Amino acid sequence: MPPTIGVFDSGFGGLTVLRELLEVLPGADYLYFGDTARLPYGSKSAHTVAKYAISSAHFLQERGAEILVIACNTATALALDEIKSAVTLPVIGVVEPGAQRAAEISKTRKAAVIATEATVASHAYEKALGARGIQSTEKACPLLVPLVEEGWIDHPVTEQVAHIYIDEVFRNGAKGADVLLLGCTHYPLLRAMLRRVVPAQVQIVDSAESTAKAVAERLQVPAAGGVGKVRCFATDSVEKFRRLGGRFLGRPIEDIELIDIET
């Protein structure tokens, strides 16, 4: 029997994690929960984020998930321990795998992290990198998420905004950094554009990709063997989820169910 993997996010960004999971574990079955009615999590307190994330985790466990992937940087940063305590499943967040990959490839032992304001304020990446002997500089890039959701992936305006942020990062504190860690699940969609903007000697680490590999290692199941089912659950507009979600997943999304998590 293929494993059933539950993937949770506050919205659409976690679909980039699901996209990477489908690459390394195409035969697994997936339950994706996007809490679109209650996003953004970044402006909410740690207590509220934990409450929302735990209710979503319970939902996925009840639907048969055997392992839970917290594909939300904010929920991972603010509530991972609470989520782990609330469910009986193995839980993997996006912060530790990304930090581990950055530590593996950095030669200067210095890294830059770009993320949302809430993730930067939590210093989750700074702590995870510091525990691995990596000095980090964090930078909040709040304009990038709405630009991605607008579909301006390769737009000159997005590249100009990214240039401003990236130039600030490497001018103010990240001198000598040879790794840039993408600490937001929206940012993988900008990877090709960021490659043009980021200094040539700096390697880019995508926490979505690192997380998928961590899940594959944890499950220790063969990558080959059939194509599993993908079911998505959203707490708001199925039509918007279908339209925006397909962009993040890189393929059309057919099976989406609207649910009321409050009841």
pLDDT at 152 over 80: yes
CATH number, domain with residue 87: 3.40.50.1860
Same domain, 108 and 141: yes
Determine the average pLDDT of the residues in 155-184: 94
What's residue 42's pLDDT? 81
For residue 222, give its domain range: 4-93+210-258
What's residue 41's pLDDT? 87
What's residue 69's pLDDT? 98
DSSP per-residue codes, 17-49: HHHHHHHH-TTSEEEEEE-TTS---TTS-HHHH
Same domain, 116 and 160: yes
pTM: 0.94
**pLDDT tens for residues 233-243?**
999 999 999 99
Question: What are the helix (H) ranges across 131-237?
Answer: 144-149, 156-171, 191-197, 207-219
Say if 250 falls within a structural domain.
yes
**pLDDT tens for residues 176-185?**
999 999 999 9
pLDDT band at 263 (very low <50, low <70, confident <90, very high): low
Question: Helix (H, G, I), strand (E, B), or coil: what is residue 244?
Answer: helix
Same domain, 122 and 188: yes
Say if 263 falls within a structural domain.
no
Q: What domain count does the chain have?
A: 2
What's residue 224's pLDDT? 53
What's residue 233's pLDDT? 98
pLDDT band at 222 (very low <50, low <70, confident <90, very high): low
**pLDDT tens for residues 85-114?**
999 999 999 999 999 999 999 999 999 999
Write down the catalytic residue from 174, 184, 205, 232. 184
Same domain, 195 and 119: yes
Same domain, 197 and 108: yes
Say if 244 falls within a structural domain.
yes
Positive or negative, the CA dihedral 10, 191, 181, 18 is positive
Same domain, 134 and 69: no
Same domain, 58 and 27: yes
Same domain, 155 and 247: no
Clarify whether 232 is annotated catalytic: no
Mean pLDDT of the residues in the chain: 94
Same domain, 18 and 89: yes
Determine the average pLDDT of the residues in 147-154: 93
What's residue 49's pLDDT? 93
Question: 207, 230, 248 — which closes off a domain?
Answer: 207
**pLDDT tens for residues 45-73?**
889 999 999 999 999 999 999 999 999 99
Determine the average pLDDT of the residues in 182-204: 96
For tokens 């998930």, the residue is: 65
Determine the average pLDDT of the residues in 178-198: 96
Same domain, 138 and 177: yes
pLDDT at 119 over 60: yes
Say if 161 falls within a structural domain.
yes
Q: Which two tokens stand for residue 236?
A: 């708001």
Edge to edge, the sheet with strand 256-258 lists 91-93, 67-70, 4-9, 29-34, 230-234, 256-258
- Among the ranges given (5-9, 11-15, 120-124, 222-226), the one the predictor scored with the smallest mean pLDDT: 222-226
Write down the catalytic residue from 72, 79, 216, 256. 72
What's residue 254's pLDDT? 87
pLDDT band at 199 (very low <50, low <70, confident <90, very high): very high
Q: Are 190 and 148 within 8 A, CB to CB?
A: yes
pLDDT band at 211 (very low <50, low <70, confident <90, very high): very high
